[in-house]
Amino acid sequence: TVTYEHILLEHRDTVGLITLNRPEALNALCDTLTKELTDALERLEVDERIGAIVITGSPKAFGAGADIKEMQPKSFADVYLEDFITSTWEAPAKSRKPVIAAVAGFALGGGAELAMMCDFIIAADTAKFGQPEITIGILPGAGGTQRLTRSVGKAKAMDLVLTGRMIDAEEAERIGLVARVVPAEELLTEALAAAEKIAAFSRPAVLMAKEAVNSAFETPLAEGLRFERRLFHAAFATDGQAEGMSAFLDKRRPEFNNR
């Protein structure tokens, strides 16, 4: 096990649980936190026991954005040359294993962007999402103009990015930003149950399914459909297909070996 300063990393059987843990700054994503998060995700990625990942914060905040104290003195040359913040910040989006964001409280700026880098968001009824960058003289810089627009469309994305207003969990679900809203006290249970469920399926199929859905955002339709069909055909080369279909016909639970 590793010990970090601003996050907690736990193995819950087949699920990797990362808890952002910088309460004094509402989980503002400082340099150390983002590096630790990247490190934890890389460890989980190569850990064969882990089939899915949950990223969560505290009841008060999933993440209040990039650390404004750290950003305040930076110049154009500083941020351009260090490629702030993408160079340290693409880990959740790059992970091949499914990553669920379990969001309670504030998910603002980089915090909302982090949630959107995950494969889907389960929100507590206390969650509040927003891209308030405009209120501090900048604009979203880690997907807030791109992933948000793809998930909720232009009207809502422009509204949120240009006014900086916050939306509650109910509105976030209505516009398609979050997959489910649950009572705050059930958030972690629900997210871990979803992750465990995913982790129990045939792993090649899970990774292919994630890759196929993601290709919908990166390719024209004809290309995406062709890619999906190739993966679909490839799934018939896995043990999971043989086991899953035999188990169905035998009326028993499948036992996947992740091959």
Active site residues: 66, 110, 113, 133
- Among residues 6, 19, 20, 34, which is the contact residue for ligand CO8, using CB under 6 A? 34
Contact stretch for ligand CO8 (CB under 6 A) within 138-146, 194-202, 225-233, 247-255? 138-146
Closer Cβ to ligand CO8, 106 or 256, answer by number: 106
Give φ, ψ of 158 to 5 degrees: -60, -45
Q: Say if residue 165 is exposed, middle or buried (CB neighbours under 10 Å; 0-12, 13-18, 19+).
A: middle
Sheet holding 128-130, edge to edge: 61-63, 106-108, 128-130, 166-168
Cβ–Cβ under 8 Å, residues 67 and 89: no
- Among residues 8, 136, 225, 235, which is the contact residue for ligand CO8, using CB under 6 A? 136
- For the bound state, the minimum distance from the C-beta of residue 140 to ligand CO8, rounded and expressed in Å, comes to 6
- For the bound state, the minimum distance from the C-beta of residue 198 to ligand CO8, rounded and expressed in Å, comes to 26
- For the bound state, the minimum distance from the C-beta of residue 74 to ligand CO8, rounded and expressed in Å, comes to 11
Question: Which residues in 60-79 contact ligand CO8 (CB under 6 A)?
Answer: 64-69
Verify binding: residue 89, ligand CO8, rule CB under 6 A. Answer: yes
- For the bound state, the minimum distance from the C-beta of residue 89 to ligand CO8, rounded and expressed in Å, comes to 5
- Among residues 9, 18, 20, 26, which is the contact residue for ligand CO8, using CB under 6 A? 26
- Among residues 54, 85, 122, 167, which is the contact residue for ligand CO8, using CB under 6 A? 85
Closer Cβ to ligand CO8, 106 or 201, answer by number: 106
Verify binding: residue 41, ligand CO8, rule CB under 6 A. Answer: no
Q: Is the peptide bond before 85 cis (omega within 30 degrees of 0)?
A: yes
Q: What CA–CA distance (Å, rounded) separates 230 from 240?
A: 17
- For the bound state, the minimum distance from the C-beta of residue 8 to ligand CO8, rounded and expressed in Å, comes to 19
Verify binding: residue 92, ligand CO8, rule CB under 6 A. Answer: no
- Among residues 57, 98, 141, 240, which is the contact residue for ligand CO8, using CB under 6 A? 141
Exposure on the CB side of residue 131, measured as CA atoms within 13 A: 27
Q: What CA–CA distance (Å, rounded) separates 93 from 233?
A: 25
**Interface positions with ligand CO8 (CB under 6 A):** 25-26, 28-29, 34, 64-69, 85, 89, 106, 108-110, 113, 132-133, 136, 140-142
